Amino acid sequence: METRQHTIKKSVTVSGVGLHTGVVSNMTFLPARPGHGIKFQRTDLPGMPTVDADADLVVDVSRGTTIEQSGARINTVEHTLAALVGMQIDNVLIQIDGPEPPIMDGSSIQFIEQLREAGLEEQNVMRDFFDVPSGIFYSEPERNVELAALPLNDYRLTVMVDYNSPVLGSQHAYLNDISQFADEIASCRTFCFLHELEMLHKNNLIKGGDLNNAIVIVDRVVKDEELEHLAKLFNKEKVEVKQEGILNNIELRYKNEPARHKLLDLVGDLALVGKPLRAQILAARPGHAANVAFARKIKRAMKKIQPDQAPAYDPATTPILNINQITQKLPHRYPMLLIDKIIHLDDKSVIGVKNITMNESFFQGHFPGNPVMPGVLQIEAMAQTGGIFALSTVDDPNNYWTYFLGIDECRFKKMVLPGDTLVIRCELTAPIKRGIFKMKGQAFVAGNLVCEAVLTASLFKKDAREV
């Protein structure tokens, strides 16, 4: 999986009819800044309101997933979201001049093709994964639906469907690596059963449905007069079917294409959690209603995680800033440069790392027989980490100094000793005003909180300071 955030290099547009609304729309993917996330924007509505891709904004799951915010509604978002997750794109603005993304051929492949045409751009910010800490389970016993998310340092999905149909039978699909989505899952089309068509039309759904954008499964003998009726329904001269099979005898792209499409839908619906997931997802007979309920349950579990939980740190991951890059931004030098690398930086937070060794200069005089890192230097390391964040907000950081204005609510929880690795997180607690930053800083060793404080600092332009 990609460890840094990605957007696209240029805007691309797809056009077509919406499956359920029947409205033709133009949908444009645009690059977005780090931390932006995935947002839709209704350009056809007054004020062009935006809608976040968020499970809490889902308002309808009738044969698709619909989100709504500020009076703007986007229907059937799952295929679009699945393509973005499959391409591991974190930040994009999707402008659309209608209520529903184009259905295209009923899969995500044409979105994938356009996103590949746009090209991916790596951003200098680490991805904010949600690592499932323990099993999260959802079930609907009356429909025999079960979904589970299990801890895994990767993103894998397995889906089982069983429609009690002589045509489909029981099917399985799996995705062992999200990078395989484009080649293994994205081209799998949406489907329905013949007996569902009349119901869908009566309920004002699939107004844009066509035999070119959906698979219609026929699991019973169909009389000639019914085929004539279906031809009129789809505005075709003629439709035909084998005794049991697919309407118009369309060839499946995979024997288990329906199961693969259900996996596609699941990937899209789980995008509404709002963060890339690291988990093993197991799903039996999933559907949009269950998927969204499951996404909401995962999101609740994400919110329950204590704010004091230590950030994940993998020493093998390439840092955002190494020591040489840090010295280009901070004026500090030995013995007062107290951070070794930056492993996360976005528009709200920063995470730095300091490796504590017995060779630190302060151990010579600070409890020489019982070496302990001075608390004031822990705060200084925290301030330098926050200083990197402050300097990242200006275009010309080399022309600025960062100065302390205040330290509040400072607490020391545990001693920091030689051999410890100090992982420092600073998060913005208020909007930046006139160059003033207020951040909550926390330092961790081996997952335990050792120090915390609220820091206030200011950016000064070098020429202004010298005057």
The DSSP output letter for 75 is -
Calculated CA dihedral for residues 327, 329, 334, 337, nearest 10 degrees: -120
425 plus 444 within the same structural domain: yes
The residue behind tokens 């309808």 is 60
Calculated CA dihedral for residues 115, 121, 124, 128, nearest 10 degrees: 10
168 plus 228 within the same structural domain: no
Provide the angle, in degrees to the nearest 10, between the axes of the packed helices 257-270 and 78-86: 90
Of 99, 69, 70, 102, the closest CA to residue 83 belongs to 102
Q: Is residue 99 part of a domain?
A: yes
Written as one letter, the residue type at 345 is L
Q: What is the pLDDT along the chain (467 residues), one digit of tens a residue?
A: 888 899 999 999 999 998 878 899 999 999 999 889 999 999 999 999 999 999 999 999 987 999 999 999 999 999 999 999 999 999 999 999 999 999 999 999 999 999 999 999 998 788 889 999 999 999 999 999 999 999 999 999 999 998 777 667 789 999 999 999 999 999 999 887 776 666 665 566 555 555 556 777 776 556 666 666 666 666 666 666 654 566 545 688 998 999 999 999 999 999 999 999 999 999 999 999 999 999 999 999 998 876 678 888 889 888 989 999 999 999 999 999 999 999 988 888 999 999 999 999 999 888 888 899 999 999 999 999 999 999 988 888 888 888 889 999 999 999 999 999 999 999 999 888 888 999 999 999 999 999 999 999 998 888 754 43
Of 242, 187, 196, 237, the closest CA to residue 216 belongs to 196
CB 94 within 8 A of CB 27: yes
What was the pLDDT predicted at 397? 86
180 plus 223 within the same structural domain: no
| Among candidate residues 229, 249, 269, the one where a domain is terminated | 249
122 plus 80 within the same structural domain: yes
DSSP string, 213-233: T-EEEE-S---HHHHHHHHHH
Q: Is residue 315 part of a domain?
A: no
| CB-based burial, 40-55: b 16+ in 10 Å, e otherwise | bbbeeeeeebbbbbbb
16 plus 141 within the same structural domain: yes
What was the pLDDT predicted at 433? 86
Q: Which of 6, 288, 332, 344 is catalytic?
A: 288
CB 73 within 8 A of CB 18: no
Pull the structure tokens for residue 1.
């999986």
What was the pLDDT predicted at 394? 87
Render pLDDT for 327-355 as a digit per residue (tens, 0 to 9): 999 999 999 999 999 998 888 899 999 99
Q: Is residue 312 part of a domain?
A: no
Degrees, nearest 5: CA angle 373-374-379: 105
What is the C-alpha to C-alpha distance for residues 451 and 379, in angstroms, rounded to an integer? 8
Q: Is residue 310 part of a domain?
A: no
16 plus 127 within the same structural domain: yes
Q: In what order do the strands lie in the sheet with 38-42?
A: 12-17, 24-31, 92-96, 38-42, 50-52
Q: Which of 36, 172, 332, 366 is catalytic?
A: 366
274 plus 330 within the same structural domain: no
271 plus 180 within the same structural domain: yes
CB 25 within 8 A of CB 99: yes
216 plus 135 within the same structural domain: no
- Give the domain range for residue 207: 191-249
CB 373 within 8 A of CB 414: no
141 plus 212 within the same structural domain: no
Q: Is residue 317 part of a domain?
A: no
What was the pLDDT predicted at 168? 74
DSSP string, 397-446: GGGEEEEEEEEEEEEE-S---TT-EEEEEEEE-S--BTTEEEEEEEEEET
Number of domains comprising the chain:
3
CB 160 within 8 A of CB 285: yes
Q: Tell me, rounded to whole angstroms, the distance of Cα 443 from its chain centroid.
A: 26
Q: Tell me, rounded to whole angstroms, the distance of Cα 170 from its chain centroid.
A: 31
Q: Is residue 290 part of a domain?
A: yes
Q: Is residue 58 part of a domain?
A: yes
Please report, for the domain that includes residue 148, its CATH number. Answer: 3.30.230.20
Name the phi and psi angles at 428, rounded to 5. Answer: -65, 130
Q: Is residue 26 part of a domain?
A: yes
Pull the structure tokens for residue 280.
């093993």
Of 128, 154, 35, the closest CA to residue 343 belongs to 128
What was the pLDDT predicted at 466? 47
What was the pLDDT predicted at 199? 66
| Among candidate residues 238, 272, 304, the one where a domain is terminated | 304
329 plus 431 within the same structural domain: yes
What is the C-alpha to C-alpha distance for residues 377 and 336, in angstroms, rounded to an integer? 9
What was the pLDDT predicted at 316? 86
The residue behind tokens 């691309």 is 12
CB 84 within 8 A of CB 182: no
* Residue 366 appears among annotated catalytic residues: yes
What was the pLDDT predicted at 209? 53
327 plus 452 within the same structural domain: yes
Instruction: Sort 313 into a burial class: Cβ within 10 Å, 0-12 / 13-18 / 19+.
Output: middle
What was the pLDDT predicted at 313? 87
* Residue 288 appears among annotated catalytic residues: yes
Q: Tell me, rounded to whole angstroms, the distance of Cα 149 from its chain centroid.
A: 16
Collapse the DSSP code of 25 into the 3-class scheme (helix H, G, I; strand E, B; otherwise coil) and give the result: strand
Of 99, 107, 134, the closest CA to residue 297 belongs to 134
What was the pLDDT predicted at 464? 56
What was the pLDDT predicted at 366? 85
Please report, for the domain that includes residue 444, its CATH number. Answer: 3.10.129.10
